[in-house]
Chain A
Amino acid sequence: MLLVQLSLRNLLRQKRRNVLLGTAMAIGVMILVVANSFSHGISDIIFNRIMRYVTGHVTIRFNEKGGIHREIFRDRDRVWAAVKDEPDIERAEEAVGFFMRAIGNGKADNIILVGANTKIGVTKKELKELEESFHMIEGGWKELEKTTVENPIIVSEEKARTLNVKKNDVLRVRFRNMFGQDQAARLTIVGIMRNDNIFMQPVCFLELSNAKPLLGYRPSDTGTINIRVKDPQKNARAIADRIHDRLKPRLALIGGTLVHGALRSEATVLGFKSDDDSQAALAKKLTLTDGSLDPAMKKDGVILTSPLARALKVREGDTVELHYDRKFNEQGASRILRVSAVCEPTDGLGENVVLMNEDKFYDAFYEDWPKNDDPQGRLFRPDERNSWVPLLAPEWILLKRTNTTDDYIKKYRDLGKMKLKATTVDVSTMYETASDILKLEGVLNLITLSAVLVLFFIILLGVINTLRMTIRERTREIGTIRAIGMRREDVRNMFILETFFLTLFSASIGVMAGFGVMGLLSRFTFHMSDNPFGMLLVNGHVYFLPTFLGIAGNVLLIVAIAVITAYFPARRAADLSPAKALGHFE
């Protein structure tokens, strides 16, 4: 306590010198706080104000048959079952969007039509957040639910200007849907928004329930699923891992009836993988009794097991009809299959099995998702140990989880080289799809810190010099307190404490000044709607996000550096001989 009292009072002795030094320190800390808060703010904008809405914290993405635009999964219930029981999910939503050519009043331009859910489970707070992000100039988000107009949409102010349209005008759009079909539609403008994010300017919002059928989704289909989670930094990866586990695919099969004339037989239809290695392995395993493999391998036909061929009395070149129940439609589905080969059901292959190239198989499987009700266990469902399983098609391909953007990019690059026939399912978090942004924040912080450390190096030279001068001026005093009976370590600590308090006070003032500067800079409004940097503004204002840990860390670092710097001159002061110190004259 005595040392603290002495240190604090000593600080006030050289007011001008300490105020100058403290001011320099405070400016350094202020720069550090402002810069860190700015870079953290950029991350926050990108993660929590852009990506959160664009991709969510966790994303389940689908690509059917390797088609980059076919972001569709045909068994909505299966995927949502994997999501719905997660406790830390704030909100999960389907995200559908499409590029279109829009024709307004004598002008045409490209737009991105995005489905926006305003109906199901949307709270007032979320609507408010939406309205904050997309300032409505005319109309409101709730007008997307209008049923009195055709396809009500909200467009950006810039797009409305480009297309020469206003509220209640109709846009005609042309687009190619995900299945490659050319489509046309009419969209009615019910709202106009203003957004500083240049990337949001081509976006037009249509209520999700209207957007899905327009874009070709059936009620049983789902597009990409974006999931917002509570405390994303803590939970996102764990939730993604758990959902990933729940989405492990089984073997894809169609349980149905094969009909040939008047003959019928239950059968299990399986797809076999069409890559060269799998086909070679399949050719080795099959024992043909009729026909040849080539047409089946080339998608032209199917291979029947011999008991099934006998029951239906078919041979190579015959056609059979496959009938099966659909999961999402009461009407059954049927397909004509041409028999190109008959094989023995050897090595664990079921007796009533039809094998077909996965390319054709998935056409049937995805288009008319089979119900596969099998109360009597007649379907052939080999377990994982069955030697045929590695050669057969799964329900979908679940992509492995990745940790970084680099891994994520590599995963998709590798995927592009493979000619996949199945739907790929990818579960990712924004921390891997955009880990580069976190890296960017880290790099920004590092640059700031390096700059400030240079500044602090200069300041610390000041600390050393100030301390040296102080010690020189107070040499006789050091001799006196040592003579009276103060121990060496107390003398040393007294000087260290002086530096500690000076740095702590300066850093605290720097933090406060930093908040003041941030408050001031945030007051300015910038209109940057035609500049990509506009996306880094919130409502036209520079956005800072100071964090307690970040600030405390910076202050701690600066104080620690100052204390370490002060240690050596302080120790030298403590080691002075009392007699020599008392005999010192300036």
Chain B
Amino acid sequence: MNIIEIRGLKKDYPLGDTLVNALRGVDVTVESGEFMSIVGPSGSGKTTLLNVIGCIDFATEGSVQIGGREITAMNDRQITDLRLHKIGFIFQTFNLIPVLDVVENVEFPLLLMKSLSRSEIRKRADRLIAEVGLQSFAKHRPSELSGGQRQRVAIARALVTNPDIVLADEPTANLDSVTGASILELMKDMNTQEKTTFVFSTHDANVLKYARRIVKIHDGLISPN
């Protein structure tokens, strides 16, 4: 079953006086439970594609279906709710909320959902924190953690809502190779355990060995191989 289905996706954006064609007609499908990497050099359109899949940016043209729902027809509130319930994000620079501690950062999406009791939220956050191996750092603020630890928190936060898809934009770019490898191992484990679809972008060839499927993008177009 396709969890992501993209047809004829084009994305243009203005840069000064010129119009940049970031995506020039992308067709791609992702099956549920996949662990897929989008590969390409800088400026190839990886982040733009992830942003459109993550519903934080909009297509100029084409169709984007997430879980069978066409997102181009949705309003801001529907899209925001879709992001909250169906999609988890892992950012290159971790993007944790600095005023919240580890457990609060992980709880954050659940608090926005307002569908669980306080104790259930805490229970689920604690489980995820344990799974990423940060129990003893639960009360630490992001500034008190290393890069790898921060990215683990970001993974826990992305997974805490049981999303259908986790999108990771260059998740290891700000980490050393050992930490990066451990993060990818963790993501892979989560993919296996939780059956969550992972789509991540990278331009690092070392990272590619973790991917089960690789989609290459170049100049805004998917390469045939």
Contact = CB atoms under 8 A, between A and B. Distances in A.
Contacts of A484: 83-84, 89, 108-109, 112, 157
B43 interface: no
Interface in A481-499: 481-488, 490
Nearest to A579: B57
Interface string A1-41: 01000100110110000000000000000000000000000
A2 B112 CA distance: 8
Contacts of A477: 95, 97-98
Contacts of A508: none
Interface residues of B, number: 25
Interface string A562-586: 0000000000000001110010000
Nearest to A8: B99
A476 interface: yes
A490 B95 CA distance: 19
Nearest to A488: B76
A12 B84 CA distance: 27
B114 to A, nearest CB: 9
A480 interface: yes
A256 B97 CA distance: 101
Interface string B140-169: 000000000000000001000000000000
A279 to B, nearest CB: 87
B80 A482 contact: yes
Mostly helix, strand, loop or mixed at chain B's interface?
helix
Contacts of B99: 6, 9-10, 12-13
B69 to A, nearest CB: 16
Given A2-B111, A486-B80, A486-B112, A481 B56 contact: no
Contacts of B76: 488
Contact of B97 (A481, A487, A582): A481
Contacts of A578: 56-57
Nearest to B77: A487
Contact of B83 (A6, A9, A10, A485): A485
Contacts of A10: 99
B95 A476 contact: yes
Contacts of B100: 6, 9
B81 interface: yes
Contact of B56 (A9, A12, A13, A582): A582
B100 to A, nearest CB: 7
B51 interface: yes
The 6 A-B pairs of least Cβ separation, nearest first, read: A485-B84, A579-B57, A9-B99, A578-B56, A480-B95, A579-B51
21 contacts: A2-B108, A6-B100, A476-B93, A476-B95, A477-B95, A477-B97, A479-B56, A480-B95, A481-B97, A482-B56, A483-B54, A483-B83, A483-B89, A484-B109, A484-B112, A485-B80, A485-B81, A485-B109, A579-B51, A579-B57, A582-B56
Interface of B: 51, 54, 56-57, 76-77, 80-81, 83-85, 89, 91, 93, 95, 97-100, 108-109, 111-113, 157
Given A476-B95, A481-B108, A486-B112, 7 more contacts: A2-B111, A480-B91, A481-B97, A483-B89, A485-B113, A582-B56, A582-B91
